[in-house]
Amino acid sequence: MESADSNPEALGLYMVESINKYKILYCQMVEPRMKTVREKCESPHSLLPMRNAFNGTFMVAGGYGREDGNKAVAKNYTDLVAYGRLFLANPDLPRRFELGAPLNKETFYTPDPVLGYTDYPFLETTA
């Protein structure tokens, strides 16, 4: 959240090379691909150098949807894609992706009225 580094690629490569020494099984990195909750942007920094340097399974996150997540895996940009907000709002996300079904609108968690976490409908109840 508004944190930055003067040379994020060098820092990322240093971190990946450091954890390689310990034979870590996976590395998850989050790309700064979101301006706001609903507005994507292109990141000027690619995780590809870190992906290529890491010896284990590489996972990315950062506002991916079905299409761009599949594209990232197909182009060998990553091994796995993590879906945070989409999974919270769609507890049946793999099924929705499989069917090309519409996704629930993401709401963030509010205390009054209580919304989020437990009240998102499953696909069968949204027909």
Residue 2 lies in a domain: no
| Number of domains observed in the structure of the chain | 2
Q: Examine the domain organization and report whether 103 and 69 are in the same domain.
A: no
Distance CA(38)–CA(85), nearest Å, equals: 10
Domain that holds residue 42: 8-82
SS3 9: helix
Residue 52 lies in a domain: yes
Q: Examine the domain organization and report whether 45 and 96 are in the same domain.
A: no
* Chain segment 6-29, per-residue pLDDT in tens: 888 899 999 999 999 999 999 999
Q: How many CB atoms lie within 10 A of CB 85?
A: 14
* Chain segment 31-73, per-residue pLDDT in tens: 865 555 556 656 655 899 999 999 999 999 988 999 999 999 9
Q: Examine the domain organization and report whether 28 and 52 are in the same domain.
A: yes
The reported pTM is: 0.78
Q: Examine the domain organization and report whether 15 and 52 are in the same domain.
A: yes
Q: Examine the domain organization and report whether 52 and 95 are in the same domain.
A: no
Residue 44 lies in a domain: yes
